[in-house]
A and B are shown apart, each in its own frame.
Chain A
């Protein structure tokens, strides 16, 4: 199954292909909002291959992040890997 972690939009550049800048430390740093024109700054989105495919409400984003954290699957940016 395709795992997807929510990331937050911090800025949007309007245009024919609106682009969003995502929360610092996120990979990727930007994504295209063509598939989710309703997305706004502050929303969480699921990104695949540079395109936001889904907008999550805050509660859903929190549930998703909690599930990943419960499995120990989220590594904070800059945190050492266990293998290091």
Chain B
């Protein structure tokens, strides 16, 4: 079957469409954001040589190609049984990832502080250049290593930009945490109503790590549901209720409250664990005391990205050393499954491939943060529709869950939310 993407709609996506299911008596039964605009790419990946898949997916995603690049290469490494990569390769990959995340978080703050946001975006771009990926599509990671060592000029420029970027990021956190215009959004769409789990990647010590090898899940009370699962355990970790749909409704097989549903992203991450860097860890405490919220959480993560970039480019002794050499491996075994993941700006991204005897993909999954947060967004929309039901309440609910949709790029108050009511029997 030929799948045709209507690119006109993707280039300037339709306004946000909320589907409200009501009983014949008018009672609200359910609500969800219409994700049908999002294309399902997996059918298009079947039959392709598996090595071609990550670059293809990253070139189709306009927003976070670096996350797809890193998750895809990690999945390929899993297919080839590569368990570790050289230290410098890990370093440049982290630099790429933090730079990419910083550029994405910066876009949330243009309205609040244009100069601060632009400074964060510039630092993010410099970090990506220092990681060997100056263009939009990254080339940093190769299977088993990296394409090259850190780029000295760009790394030096990063180091020189850090202080100003960190000061700006801290100011943006204070605005997101304290300013009435920002806090109204948080209070209108409080995360406290979510009964599912929070999921994030962590390091071996249980600290927040966007490139962590372990996945941790906690329940609303903070109790650990999954302590530290590896990517290779994915099939025993998560099930998809609707695998063919954009809203695939993943859930944790370990269960937990609310049927195993969970959310990912900055809010989930900061509830799961503290960042590894000092200022961000301190701001996280402030964030927790202030009741949480997506915008302030993004600001904390922006601070963390700046600090992490500073740590990665600090010291000049390693620049020029190139122990990024990839491991040389043969083809992946038929029937083997490879899973790679990263925790991006919007949350956990998972690439899962299975190959046949010719090394071609016969199963593919690209599980995005948007799909994983769809259930959370549904709960937020139900709350908004039960309350004021005005467009601002719905817009705030959508921004809280932050789906990767064109509508969230709209300035505040201009999202254009449409409600489609569907009548259903209970």
Binding site for B on A (CB under 8 A): 1-7, 26-28, 34-35, 37, 46-51, 53-57, 59-60, 63-64, 66-68, 70-75, 81-82
Contacts and interface: CB of A to CB of B under 8 A. Distances in A.
A47 B59 contact: no
B334 interface: no
A84 to B, nearest CB: 12
Contacts of B118: 37
B61 A1 contact: yes
Interface in B121-169: 121, 135-137
B56 A67 contact: yes
Nearest to A82: B4
A2 B11 contact: no
Given A49-B409, A54-B136, A64 B59 contact: yes
Contacts of A59: 135
B241 interface: no
Nearest to B405: A2
B253 interface: no
Interface stretch (B36-44, B176-184, B263-271, B286-294): B36-44
A79 to B, nearest CB: 12
A53 B63 contact: yes
Given A5-B62, A63-B137, A64-B137, 7 more contacts: A1-B68, A2-B405, A2-B406, A53-B63, A54-B63, A57-B135, A75-B8
A9 to B, nearest CB: 14
Interface in B24-45: 38-39, 41, 44
Contacts of A72: 2, 4
Contacts of B368: 1
A81 B107 CA distance: 35
10 contacts: A2-B61, A3-B7, A4-B10, A27-B11, A35-B107, A47-B12, A49-B406, A51-B410, A68-B7, A75-B8
What class of interface size applies to chain B in its complex with A?
A: 35 or more
Nearest to A26: B11
B370 interface: yes
Nearest to B104: A53
B7 A35 contact: no
The 4 closest A-B pairs by CB, nearest first: A4-B62, A67-B59, A48-B406, A48-B409
Contacts of A75: 4, 6-8
Interface of B: 2-8, 10-13, 38-39, 41, 44, 56-57, 59-64, 68, 107, 110, 114, 118, 121, 135-137, 366, 368, 370, 404-410
Nearest to B411: A51
B50 to A, nearest CB: 16
A10 B137 CA distance: 23
B63 A4 contact: yes
A1 to B, nearest CB: 5
Given A27-B11, A53-B63, A2 B136 contact: no
Contacts of B56: 67, 70
B136 A27 contact: no
Contacts of A34: 110, 114
Contacts of A63: 59, 137
Nearest to B410: A49
A2 B404 contact: yes
A28 B7 contact: no
A56 B12 contact: no
A1 B37 CA distance: 10
A40 B366 CA distance: 34
A51 B195 CA distance: 35
Contacts of A81: 4
Nearest to A50: B12
Nearest to B138: A60
A3 B59 contact: no
A3 B60 contact: yes
A50 B62 contact: no
B137 A7 contact: no
A50 B13 CA distance: 9
Contacts of A71: 3, 5, 44, 60
B35 to A, nearest CB: 11
Contacts of A57: 135-136
B122 to A, nearest CB: 9
A5 B7 contact: yes
Given A35-B107, A48-B409, A67-B56, A3 B10 contact: yes
A82 B44 CA distance: 18
Contacts of A1: 38-39, 41, 57, 60-61, 63-64, 68, 366, 368, 370, 404
